[in-house]
Chains A and B, each alone.
Chain A
């Protein structure tokens, strides 16, 4: 009798708990997951009935795991973090909710986000795959001390690419430092220049490759000129040679997302605090590096709660500011971008108010479209650039070959 009673009681209790609490599974990766960790207590204040389970894997593992889950349609989280490099692929997969449709109707928030972000997350069929939480406006970081030592005019050296390469020669001659990590970095920026809203980097709307356009020709020419001038260290970003080069002041400039300032300050080159400065990218280019989004898988268990949580992360100003202040994640939400925090000097950059500059860049970055074949095209263009840099292959020929290879590989 007593046992029966206890059983009934526990059954009743678990029943009532199950009716109220929803466990929302969120899959993310470092450092983005720190934003989730900060959000959980704040979110639960308003939503005590929602429990949030965070599953965080390393960057590459996370996207591999999500690809596997989408492939098999199992083990999918309710909220899925997606880095911008994978959006094209995931948006084309059909396994992600289209947030532009009801019940989400996310296009109503279009004007609240940095203008280039939603097109980045839009698939070929006009489906909106994800909502942005942070962005990476591009900037040119440079070692002021090295440039001064070489007698380079700080205000003019990034006006155009010729000036940039000339400055690089002076820096190399006077200080021994390389101007850039890799000649390919210049190519990566130039292929993103002169783009209009609605254009893609590698493809037009009909999936035709654009790699034989003057944009790519100029990019290859400048990269080759930098290599011939001996101003690139021939090291790829994120290798140990690269971090060591930045740490020892052997690499004088780095063009990347504004977030790289945090990496430099925290672990790559903390000793060089105060020596770095930030500037807009050379030749009036505005581009973005990285950027994080959240999506809802079509087979998610709790879509309604997932959408509520994503809206909290992306559209709640105080949450966006929390991530901005604490993690230095540049907000995608425009109202959060206009915060006082912009005016705060950055110690690592010698007290420069660089966030104002990054905000200006964010406003000017064109709304380019993504294609699920972008990674393949990027791989092919890099392979052809290697041939130009290492074997003096003719640039027009290399680009024509890249065009052929892309056409061959983009099969379906």
Chain B
């Protein structure tokens, strides 16, 4: 390597020499890696630091940069004592739990099944499960919005047809299925519908995570276990589950972070902003998550300072939850 460099250096012509002044062996790596850091500084670091600065100001952006007013911690005290923020936080945790826990409860057995029972078609089936994850959230949410439509949605058509199915003048399924259209927009259902869509979307992603972890578990462990007479069920509980722990930790951490930042799915399922521009989160704000609250504070109320404070409080909550998750996994092992 150094021989090559020396050979290049000795017969140096003028242009090479002038280039060498700043592009030396020491500086070259930094120059080559700089595009990332420059872009990160402009689009990542600067906004991050700017929101800290903003969170201590009142700022309506249409007044220009000169319109900022220092308010100290007032934005934070305002948010912490704000009923709307509390409600959005409650909604966020509700959806995170109801969509998050079943995601893992379904993904682990599913991955185990795919790993043990399927061989030839495994990748194709995994691809199918993964499809929702790589499809645009907007497209998914729009499709589900029309499926869950009260008067014209396919789900209500199916449910009511089952409920109204008649045999000899009786409706044998009428006590299980509804006989009239269900209003899925009702605040009682909003969070369930959002949770279902989120669950459906990320179950494939978690399955892929768990499947990749399963593939790293040595086969001889299972062989040894089956020689010892362990059933499939015993193998699952005593070999698979313990060895999946590190992946569970990663997958659950990702779920916590993703679910607490949930925005697109609830935003579109509850009707987005609409040209009126003032309803967010559906009737009674039942589907308004903390991230949506932040968006509304910034773009409906034009209060970027308070929105920044919401963002940082949300960050602190996510950091705390991740820390608690870390602790829980460490202690048991």
Contact = CB atoms under 8 A, between A and B. Distances in A.
Q: Do A and B come from one complex?
A: yes
A95 interface: yes
A235 B279 CA distance: 12
Interface in A364-412: 372, 375-376, 378-379, 382-383, 386-387, 389-391, 408-409, 411-412
B299 A64 contact: yes
Interface stretch (A4-12, A68-76, A278-286, A325-333): A68-76
A67 interface: yes
Contact of A60 (B58, B185, B273): B273
A412 B284 contact: no
Nearest to A178: B151
A90 interface: yes
Given A64-B299, A85-B277, A241-B151, A70 B61 contact: yes
Contacts of A94: 63-64, 67
Interface string A239-256: 111001100001000000
B302 interface: yes
B217 interface: no
Given A92-B62, A244-B152, A382-B279, 17 more contacts: A70-B61, A70-B62, A70-B64, A71-B61, A72-B64, A236-B271, A236-B274, A239-B271, A239-B274, A241-B149, A375-B301, A376-B301, A379-B301, A386-B187, A389-B283, A391-B284, A411-B78
Interface string B245-286: 000000000000000000000000001011111111001110
A89 interface: yes
9 nearest A-B residue pairs (beta carbon): A71-B61, A93-B62, A379-B278, A70-B62, A386-B284, A378-B278, A93-B63, A412-B58, A376-B301
B300 interface: yes
B184 to A, nearest CB: 10
Interface in B34-85: 58, 60-65, 67, 69, 78, 84
Interface of A: 59-60, 64, 67-68, 70-73, 85, 89-90, 92-95, 233-241, 244-245, 250, 372, 375-376, 378-379, 382-383, 386-387, 389-391, 408-409, 411-412
A15 to B, nearest CB: 34
A115 to B, nearest CB: 25
Contacts of B64: 70-73, 93-95
B60 A93 contact: yes
Contacts, number: 107
A215 to B, nearest CB: 18
Given A386-B283, A386-B284, A67 B185 contact: no
A390 B277 CA distance: 21
Contacts of B275: 59, 237-238
B325 interface: no
Contact of B279 (A73, A236, A240, A389): A236
A62 B283 CA distance: 27
A390 B187 contact: yes
B161 interface: no
Nearest to A188: B276
A240 B146 contact: yes
Contacts of B69: 412
Contacts of B185: 234-235
A356 B219 CA distance: 84
Given A60-B273, A236-B271, A238-B274, A73 B65 contact: yes
Q: For this complex, into which size category does the number of interface residues on chain B fall? A: 35 or more
A377 to B, nearest CB: 9
B115 interface: no
A95 B302 CA distance: 15
Contacts of A67: 61-62, 302
B166 interface: no
A235 B185 CA distance: 9
Between B65, B146, B275, the greatest number of chain A beta carbons within 10 A of the residue's beta carbon is seen for B275
A379 B299 CA distance: 12
Nearest to B302: A89
Between B65, B145, B277, the greatest number of chain A beta carbons within 10 A of the residue's beta carbon is seen for B277
Contacts of A241: 149-152
A216 B151 CA distance: 31
A72 B65 contact: yes
14 contacts: A89-B62, A95-B63, A234-B283, A238-B275, A240-B145, A241-B150, A241-B151, A244-B149, A244-B151, A379-B279, A379-B301, A383-B84, A387-B284, A390-B283
A92 B296 CA distance: 20
Contacts of A59: 275
A410 B63 CA distance: 16
Contacts of A72: 64-65
B88 to A, nearest CB: 12
B183 interface: yes
Contacts of B271: 236, 239
A70 B64 CA distance: 6
A376 B300 contact: yes
Nearest to A379: B278
A240 B149 contact: yes
Contacts of B62: 67, 70-71, 89-90, 92-93, 95
A64 B299 CA distance: 8
Contacts of B145: 240
Contacts of A60: 273, 277
Contacts of B65: 71-73
Interface string B285-328: 10000000000100111100000000000000000000000000
Contact of B300 (A236, A372, A379): A379
A72 B59 CA distance: 12
Contacts of B279: 236, 379, 382
B142 to A, nearest CB: 8
B278 A375 contact: yes
Contacts of A93: 60, 62-64, 67
A238 to B, nearest CB: 5
A81 B277 CA distance: 18
A234 B183 CA distance: 9
Nearest to A91: B62
A411 B183 CA distance: 38
